Homo-oligomer: A and B are copies of this chain.
């Protein structure tokens, strides 16, 4: 059902391991300190979407975390091994391919690196259809912090995701599905596992906006791919600063990620948002066409 492959210099294509069995030492800093980096990619129609963009972001995260990881060729080969096993043992219409590099026990130890392939959660597909209710929550950082505080590794996708998970639990306890974080100075940032997209219709002009990266958010690979496709289809593009008012006044707000794709935001703090059906259909088509 699910597949696991470890990267190992002795095995150029990686080696298969039992995902249901214990595999990691309790002493790895990847475990004890959440000290590692990762990516989640969508595998569908026999292909991993945006593989190159994810590998590039993994490399950036690793560099920010001072973690030496295997080269792209090793990741490609390990993913090939993993998805072949996944397909041979049942497969799924949509699957999540995770790349993980975790720091070992000692800083000089090689990173422990693996790939998992698991069926995509049904919830993502459901929410794509129905949309999500979102809470605006303060992330506590001001929007200029990333530039002045490199030691905080903002923009790196690390295994230290417990605050992201806690914010999602908080939302669910308060009757919502998801969260959009704002900065201490009131700027729209990102969702715990997604990027925010905003559409505006202005006469004949269609405009697609997203928070600027300088706020320290994770550069979204899906946002970037949709932006590229939208530009080719005549959209104007723009980068924040965005404020909550911009969300309430938009003709559509979406959370996008590699796994959930394009998910419309139905309400923010229980206030209904506008969703221009034509813009939604057009962006959905662009999102579905990402390779």
Contacts and interface: CB of A to CB of B under 8 A. Distances in A.
A26 B140 contact: no
Contacts of A98: 32
B19 A27 contact: yes
Given A137-B151, A145-B138, A151-B166, A24 B27 contact: no
Interface residues of A, number: 56
A142 interface: yes
A26 B100 contact: yes
A166 B100 contact: no
A89 to B, nearest CB: 16
Number of copies: 2
A120 interface: no
B23 A19 contact: no
A118 B25 CA distance: 14
A33 interface: yes
Report the 8 A-B pairs with minimum CB-CB distance, sorted nearest first.
Answer: A34-B34, A160-B160, A151-B170, A160-B162, A34-B160, A33-B161, A24-B24, A140-B145
18 contacts: A20-B25, A21-B22, A22-B24, A23-B25, A24-B24, A24-B26, A29-B165, A31-B31, A32-B38, A32-B100, A34-B34, A65-B166, A140-B152, A141-B141, A141-B184, A150-B170, A153-B163, A159-B162
